[in-house]
Amino acid sequence: MDAPETPQIYLITPPAFDLHVFPDLLARVMDRVEIGCLRLTLSTRDADEISRAADSLRETAHARDIALVLTDHIQIAQRLGLDGVHLSDAARSVRAARKELEPDSIVGSYCGTSRHDGMSAGEAGADYISFGPVTAGGLGDGSIVEDELFGWWSEMIELPVVAEGALTPARAAELAPFVDFFGIGDEIWSAEDPADALAELAAVFK
């Protein structure tokens, strides 16, 4: 993914959803707010279920010229011809993904709060680095990404950076000058109208 001039929305799916309902909801969200990339992240390990979801969401995303990446499942992404993968193990799988996937495929790497892991993933061939969570209350061990990391990254590293995990409007406003994408998922899907919720959050940094 190329670094945009202003932060873009990197939309993350819920960990589970009804395939009879969610694609229409996703379409409404995408038609309401400009999306830079869509990430399919499911809690299930069932390959058939993941494949069916990917097929369905790819149609919705590609109809709007939005790339779809799949979390961790390199072989499924390759078999289905998806736009790439998002790896959750920092730099460990980046080289393998680069070898398996087409040269123009997107390979992203979630590196938690670690600058070292981010740099290692970039050196291994990642197209973007994701850091998070950005506020307390996010998943993991309770640690959060300090503003200094995003500031340093934006000044020193050309590789696009994603901020994600328990994003709030206040944090979005603070981080907007330093990040290329905001990873947004749980923040909107539990709202009565996810499209409205995303539009309100995006208004902070657009």
User: E strands of 28-175, at which residues?
Assistant: 37-40, 67-71, 84-87, 106-110, 128-131, 161-164
Alpha-carbon span 50 to 41, nearest angstrom: 9
CATH of 8-205, one of 3.10.310.30, 3.20.20.70, 3.30.300.30, 3.40.50.1370: 3.20.20.70
Could you read off the pLDDT of 163-206 as tens digits, one per residue?
A: 999 999 999 999 999 999 999 999 999 999 999 999 999 999 87
Return the closest-CA partner of residue 35 out of 177, 190, 193, 185: 185
The model scores a pTM over 0.85: yes
Domain ranges of the chain: 8-205
Query: 140 falls in which pLDDT band (50, 70, 90)?
Result: low
Phi, psi of 42 (to 5 degrees): -110, 145
Tell me which DSSP letter residue 178 carries. Answer: T
Residue 154 belongs to what H/E stretch?
helix 147-156
In eight-state DSSP terms, residue 4 is P
Q: Which amino acid is at 33?
A: V
